[in-house]
Structure 1
Amino acid sequence: MRWVRDYTPQPTENGLYRSALLVTISGNVLLAAVKSLAAYFSGSVALYSDAANSISDVLYSVMMVLGLYLAQRPPDLSHPQGHSRFEPLVGTLISFSMAFAGYEALRASFIRFQQGGLAIEPGLPTIALLFSAAVKVGMYLFIRNTARKLTSPTLNTAAKDNLSDVLTSSAAFVGAFGSKLIHPITDPIAGFLVAIWIFRAAFLAARENLNFLTGAGASEELRQRIIQEASSVPGVLRVHHLMTDYSGPRLIADLHVNVDGNTTLTESHRITDEIIARLEAMPEIDRAYVHLEPDDWE
């Protein structure tokens, strides 16, 4: 039986993390600069709200670098089970950063709404927002695919934030463009919509990462997959107990499995090792513990 598991990230995983961080940081810095300048010269509060969101993205990019560095450190005496909980911790901090951007967008939009709005010339804001949306679509697809490969809640939160940025840039585009063609008040109204969407994305991200931090269990669908995988091992009669809880972004699975009471000790070890190997090969599982019991045990 394997009592020690190697938590050190493999070279391929390290490369994926580095690529994701490079894309996230460079993309967010570029968009924050472009939208801030466009908002300053155009005076669009909707674009300002979107720029505030991008500035918060830069801050969470820095937190991602630190958090993922800590999460990938191998186990030591202070953290014998590894440092994986730093990942959802960083994801939670990112959600707070998103919430602050939502507050800033709401505040600026309310002030502009009280002033009756402002007609924005469509040229510069239009170009900046369309450029931003295109970049964020590319970032979302890349980060989402990387997060799935690594089962990373931090990168998954970042991907969701990128998707929300596409929608907020679209809302800001409608507001800035509509302020000239429809009515000046459409600009702050679009800012309100941007703020609401940011708050929604922040809430969903915080809820997901808090589940990872507080030891929530697996979904019923995943529990059934774990039971099916264990039950498929030759010699297993049934799984009569399963407990799961998150240790960082991945699950710890604890199973009680029934086998024939006449099974030899050698065969019992083989069954145990095979169940553990199959479960730990699942991307959602970090560690599996298996307790064998004779099926006729009273």
Structure 2
Amino acid sequence: MNQSMSNLKLAERGAIISISTYLLLSAAKLATGHLLHSSSLVADGFNNVSDIIGNVALLIGIRMARQPADRDHRFGHWKIEDLASLITSIIMFYVGFDVLRDTIQKILSREQTIIDPLGAFLGIISAAVMFVVYLYNTRLSKKSKSKALKAAAKDNLSDAVTSLGTSIAILASSFNYPIVDKLVAIIITFFILKTAYDIFIESSFSLSDGFDDRLLEDYQKAIMEIPKISKVKSQRGRTYGSNIYLDITLEMNPDLSVYESHEIADQVESMLEERFGVFDTDVHIEPAPIPEDEILDNVYKKLLMREQLIDQGNQLEELLAEDFIYIRQDGEQMDKEAYRAEKELKAAIKDIQITSISQKTKLICYELDGIVHTSIWRRHETWQNIFHQETKKE
């Protein structure tokens, strides 16, 4: 939470830098454009005016987004950052269409004016300044993880390109190609509208809880690298400002305890935060389906075979649990090692019966050489014998 607040403060710095730069450039372009009769320079100046309004809205939105969660906003006020971006795009649409209308009117009126090529130098200087601001805000947006500032940085780059185009238009007009000035003004307007459209789509996508499926695919691949997770059953992602919230349903081995499942869920949350910067993850755990070979009829055959292997003294290391206990009919108790050392095959198993105590615990009884044997088998990912007792047959 504190890191997110710090990120918003960093984003504020970028917005303030942009506002200050646009104030200087727009004033210079509008004054020079009217003085030198350059439509493209005036259009570029109005473009910067729209940027001022947009960045002011962005700054207000970022500051409002820093408010802590309250009774009516349980997830905080992060979405105000997206709302500020949406407002910015609407303002840019208005300015863009207004400049386009004004330029078309001048073309239709066939107004001829002499343009001073000195205005081109202002465009070149403006392009250089905005490119520096673009680099600064891009670096800051990555550091602060601010989508709004990232959009503003794209606008900075667009402004650098349009300012360069303005310079080209002014130079062309000074060589008796005045129509070029008008055409470049239209192109600049296109950049304004295109940037507005991109910001509008991105902000409305976030506000409507849209989420990038490619990110969900990356999350799923990373989650499946964690052992004992059988399947990522579902994922739902949404963003609040620059913060990602995830709801994930995982299928895990049904033999895992609640504690073990919780530990794995914590691993998932930590991994997503560290590798992908996910702000909040809600993990729901469901047991994976019981495999076909764990159905009772199949378990009967499997455990019978394993009892036979044990009585034959085969695969004892694998089939006996480390805490295995064996109680002879005379009451003598043996552990795993003692049982392995003294195991002798005396006769074949007969009259075997299996009783299901629970989904993963089975009781097996059988007769061997006139002695009744009782075993308890438990499945924790694999079946193992945890208890065995001999009882003299009456």
TM-score (norm 2): 0.69
1:30 and 1:274 map into 2 onto residues whose CA distance is 51
CA RMSD, Structure 1 to Structure 2 (Å): 1.9
Partner of 1:131: 125
User: AA paired with 1:87?
Assistant: E
Question: Do 1:133 and 1:166's aligned partners in 2 also have CA atoms closer than 8 Å?
Answer: yes
User: AA paired with 2:215?
Assistant: L
Partner of 1:53: 47
2:21 and 2:89 map into 1 onto residues whose CA distance is 19
- Gap change, CA 1:283 and 1:10, over 3 Å in 2: farther
Partner of 1:108: 102
User: AA paired with 1:119?
Assistant: I
Deviation at 1:7, TM superposition (A): 6.1
Structure with larger Rg: 2
Question: Do 1:143 and 1:156's aligned partners in 2 also have CA atoms closer than 8 Å?
Answer: yes
Question: Do 1:279 and 1:285's aligned partners in 2 also have CA atoms closer than 8 Å?
Answer: yes
Partner of 2:259: 266
Match status 1:172 vs 2:172: no
Name the % identity: 25
CA offsets 1:126-175 (integer angstroms, 9 cap, x no match): 12111110111011111122222222121122111111111211222222
User: AA paired with 1:197?
Assistant: F
User: AA paired with 2:250?
Assistant: V
Partner of 1:121: 116
Partner of 1:3: none
CA offsets 1:19-57 (integer angstroms, 9 cap, x no match): 212311211111111112211221111100000011111
1:17 and 1:248 map into 2 onto residues whose CA distance is 12
Partner of 1:71: 65
1:14 and 1:249 map into 2 onto residues whose CA distance is 9
2:97 and 2:277 map into 1 onto residues whose CA distance is 34
1:293 and 1:89 map into 2 onto residues whose CA distance is 37
2:169 and 2:5 map into 1 onto residues whose CA distance is 46
Partner of 1:141: 135
Partner of 2:223: 230
Partner of 1:157: 151
Match status 1:285 vs 2:278: yes
1:86 and 1:18 map into 2 onto residues whose CA distance is 14
CA offsets 1:208-262 (integer angstroms, 9 cap, x no match): 110000011223x211111122222233222122222333343322211121111
Question: Do 2:121 and 2:167's aligned partners in 1 also have CA atoms closer than 8 Å?
Answer: no
Deviation at 1:297, TM superposition (A): 5.5
Question: Do 1:119 and 1:183's aligned partners in 2 also have CA atoms closer than 8 Å?
Answer: no
Deviation at 1:182, TM superposition (A): 4.0
Query: Which structure shows the higher helix fraction?
Result: 1
2:251 and 2:212 map into 1 onto residues whose CA distance is 22
Question: Do 1:49 and 1:104's aligned partners in 2 also have CA atoms closer than 8 Å?
Answer: no
1:249 and 1:297 map into 2 onto residues whose CA distance is 40
Deviation at 1:8, TM superposition (A): 6.6
Match of 2:202 among 205, 208, 212: 208
Which segments of structure 1 move beyond 4 Å, counting only runs of 4 or more? none
Question: Do 1:214 and 1:246's aligned partners in 2 also have CA atoms closer than 8 Å?
Answer: no
Partner of 1:294: 287
- Gap change, CA 1:33 and 1:282, over 3 Å in 2: farther
Match status 1:196 vs 2:190: yes
Question: Do 1:121 and 1:180's aligned partners in 2 also have CA atoms closer than 8 Å?
Answer: yes
Bigger relative CO (Cα 8 Å, ≥ 6 apart):
1
- Partner-residue secondary structure (3-state), 1:133: helix
Match of 1:244 among 229, 237, 242: 237
Question: Do 1:50 and 1:105's aligned partners in 2 also have CA atoms closer than 8 Å?
Answer: no
User: AA paired with 1:111?
Assistant: Q
In the comparison of the two structures, how many residue pairs are matched? 290
Question: Do 1:217 and 1:246's aligned partners in 2 also have CA atoms closer than 8 Å?
Answer: yes
Question: Do 2:8 and 2:146's aligned partners in 1 also have CA atoms closer than 8 Å?
Answer: no
Question: Do 1:120 and 1:179's aligned partners in 2 also have CA atoms closer than 8 Å?
Answer: yes
- Partner-residue secondary structure (3-state), 2:178: coil
User: AA paired with 2:270?
Assistant: A
Deviates more, 1:185-194 or 1:228-237: 228-237
Alignment of 1:25-40 (within 5 A): 25-40=19-34
Match of 1:9 among 4, 21, 40: 4
TM-score (norm 1): 0.91
Partner of 1:255: 248
Partner of 2:357: none
CA offsets 1:84-141 (integer angstroms, 9 cap, x no match): 1101111111111221221232122112212324231101x11211111011101111
Q: Which runs of 5+ in 2 are unaligned?
A: 292-394
